[in-house]
Amino acid sequence: MSALLHSESLTVGQQMPLYELLLFVTAGNNLVLSLVACLLLILMAYGMVRLNENYIFIRQRTDLPAFVFALIASGTISLGGMHPSLFAAFLLFLSVDRVFKIYQGTATLSNSFDAGFLIGLASLFYLFAAVYLFWFWVALAVLGYLRGKEILAGLMGFMVPVFLVVAWYFWSDDIGELQKTVESLAFFQNSLGDVSVFQYAYWGILGFLVVLSSMYMFNVYEEKKISSRKYFIILLSFFLVSALSFSFFNGAGVEQYFISIIPVTYITSHYFVLQKHAWIGEVWFYLLVVSSILIHFIG
């Protein structure tokens, strides 16, 4: 609600081409952009449940991932609104679905192409989404499909939207402008800005919960079906790529949060649903809920 009532821009300067197109279509209206951001979060929350129903990462049908995602997604006050990384997160989430489909062994080339295409589109909204092409190759290795055909299909899918945008800028004689935009975003000195102690405390709670949930997952790893094991490793590698991007690229700031919470949602939801000591899970669950609410009042 605060993002809708007090809409403000979360970006400065020139952005990647598709986000600039979004700004043009919405006339840069911050309220409209915040509404689009809200819609994307709702679609992702719904998609979290659908993905689990399709691939049964959590061994029972539950709407909990949608609720956990909503809590965590709104848990960083400085990200109340639209940011290019949110659109990238939505597209990367769709690419996770395509990667999981590869394991089923049908249409591996078309799913590889689709995954690469979605990553390419995401990078045209948010530059640092391009590094998830490496995650795609890691996922292929985990699934046992690290073969020339799938690698090439994913690479071609990635290149198609990038090539079309570059061709458009070349045709418009603005290729130099595109190069300047990419360079400025790549070398932009991003920072966390003014972050309150309460926000750090919330991230600390969330970080500890991720570690606890991951340890629980490893403890029950051998009990999982082979497919669930592979999905877990793919989600964990997705999270690690996000963490490494934040660590190694100066221009990648706190907005990586939108992307990293995709695997975090599943790993923590799995812990809440299946861990054997119910009271411990409930304590952590209520702590997450209460802290996610309080951060909006004291953060």
DSSP secondary structure of 207-225: HHHHHHHHHHHHHTGGGS-
pLDDT for 193 equals 61
Distance, CA of 102 to CA of 122 (rounded, Å): 20
How large is the average pLDDT for residues 45-59? 87
Kindly list the domain boundaries of the chain, sorted by start residue.
2-298
Distance, CA of 299 to CA of 288 (rounded, Å): 15
Instruction: Please give the radius of gyration of the chain, using alpha carbons only, rounded to the nearest integer.
Output: 19
Look at residues 85, 103, 101 and name the one whose alpha carbon lies nearest to residue 10. Answer: 85
Predicted model pTM = 0.91
Do residues 212 and 42 touch, judged by C-beta distance below 8 A? no
* Maximum pairwise Cα distance, the chain: 63
pLDDT for 39 equals 92
User: Which residues, including other chains, have CB under 8 Å from residue 86's CB and lie 6 or more apart?
Assistant: 37, 40, 41, 255, 258
Do residues 99 and 234 touch, judged by C-beta distance below 8 A? yes
Q: Find which of 45-54, 147-156, 196-205 is predicted with most confidence, using mean pLDDT.
A: 147-156
How large is the average pLDDT for residues 258-265? 91
